[in-house]
Amino acid sequence: MASRSFPEMPTPSSLLSAYASMSTSIMLFRTMFDQLFPRQLRRYVVDAVRFYWKPKSSKLTLVFEEKDGMSMNHMFEAAEAFLCSRINPDSERLRITKSVKENHINIKFADSEEVVDSFEGIMLTWKYVRHQPQPSGGGGDDSGYGGGKNSSGGSFSLERKYIELKFDKKYKETIITSYLPLIIKKSQELENEKKVVKLHNLQSYGGGPGGFKESVNLDHPSTFDTLAMDPKMKKAIIDDLDLFLKRRDFYRRVGKAWKRGYLLYGPPGTGKSSLIAAMANYLKFDIYDLQLMNVGSDSSLKKLMLRTSNRSILVIEDIDCSIQLPDRKGAMPMFSKLPDVKPVRDSQFSLSGLLNFIDGLWSCCGDERIIIFTTNHKERLDPALLRPGRMDVHIHMSYLTTEGFKTLAANYLNIHDHHWRFREIKELINDTKVTPAEVAEELMKSDNSEVVLEGLVNFLKRKKTEDETTKDGVHYGEGEVREPKKAKVIS
């Protein structure tokens, strides 16, 4: 049997000799490199070798700077709001903030805090970074982020805030096209949840071309749940608002400004103001109250409009009697001599200017706008104001119904039925013209529900008797003047 031969193993002396020879060659090469190349060139070569030979990372980092030039970076704000919803019990450091005008405490991430998120199976790591100003003795700032001088003459750099998002490079397209838009949408939802609705009073400088606004928090508690309105009508209004909110692309495609006009009409005390507040609280839209008596000219109206923001409700109350507007031909309406109609203050303010403000070129100055007009006398309005595109939805605020009374009883008395009082009250409401405001006033007169319901029955009986004695639209019992009942009401 033939024997198999194996290669000879090197001896220790040969290994030592080879190592000494290699070390001598390296030292010789290094000596020649130092003598032949200047120090600056040697440093450049070494840096170049390190750059091209360093291992490539599979991670990609997106940086969300707090500011984009001089303006705020919306992506930073959206990412910060989104991350606040991802805070977990394992977080060790958090920032707590609250402004004077806010009713809630904000919990945010602190410096260098990290949070791990996942999207479609992709692992993502978020990190909040903040660089504090570092004083230096130099005369300038070459960081690229701005700077200035301190009181001692040295320079300082402005605080820099940013958020880092790190993930695998191969998911770049998915993150940018799907994940980031999701963050923007989620941040908007979170902002709407905690937003404090504002009420702005638009004013003109003594009727001049300028203008300003005074603002307060809208603390009106009215919601669609508390409105004394027919449930079907409430649902129709909510559905119309929801449809309006989600049709941004539709409005752009058909070439219309993204706005919606509503006309609320009906007798005083039927809840027009409460409905406006309920719409604002539902949408989280600020309200801008515009008094036409404060507008001196068409140009003033345009300037005031520019002071309103997107996602807002512009309210013009009692448009039929707040100011006397000449029609498009310059003639005054037939009802201009009525005692509750204010005279014209300035001929430069016209119906044409108001119409252009509602649906002309100036109506395209903002998105997601709602314009609400209220009136007690729809028949006094110029037909040009009533057409779709200006007042798209006409809502008739009628007298109290039995369904509306059930809502009021639940709100004020916390009762939902009464075995015989409710039946009597509903019969009286069906036979009597009574407003929700009048019934609400009766429901507030005592904490005892039995006493309140008995008092309401007596009030409705008196009201029914007074209505029966009313002739030709004039009631002589309390000096209240009413219009004659119309044969046909369009709602």
pLDDT given at position 9: 66
pLDDT for the residue numbered 95? 78
All structural domains of the chain, each given as residue ranges with its CATH number in brackets, are 59-194 (no CATH), 198-396 (3.40.50.300), 402-468 (no CATH)
**How many angstroms separate the Cα of 387 from the Cα of each of 118, 319, 359, 391?**
51, 15, 11, 6
List pLDDT tens digits, range 371-402: 999 998 888 887 877 877 778 899 999 899 98
What does pTM read for this prediction? Answer: 0.64
Q: Is 295 helix (H, G, I), strand (E, B) or coil?
A: coil
Interval 412-461: pLDDT, tens: 988 887 667 888 898 999 888 899 999 999 999 998 988 999 999 999 99
- pLDDT at position 5: 56
- Backbone φ/ψ region at 363: left (φ over 0), alpha (ψ -120 to 50), beta: alpha
Crossing angle between the packed helical segments 436-443 and 449-468, to the nearest 10 degrees: 140
pLDDT of residue 282: 93
Rounded-to-integer distance, Cα 176 and Cα 44, Å: 37
Residues 6+ apart with CB under 8 A from 245: 283, 368
pLDDT recorded at residue 20: 72
Say what the pLDDT of residue 362 is.
57
Residue ranges in the chain whose pLDDT is less than 50: 1, 138-146, 148, 151-152, 154-157, 207-209, 328-330, 332-337, 341-347, 471-490
Residue 277 burial by CB count (10 A; 0-12/13-18/19+): exposed, middle or buried?
buried
How far out from the chain centre does Cα 358 lie? Answer: 21
CA 125 → CA 78, 82, 115, 130, 131, distances in Å?
16, 13, 6, 17, 19
The pLDDT score that the predictor gives to residue 143 is: 43
Tell me what pLDDT residue 265 has: 92
The predicted structure's pLDDT at residue 476? 35
State the CB neighbour count (10 A cutoff) for residue 233: 19
- Per-residue model confidence (pLDDT) at position 298: 72
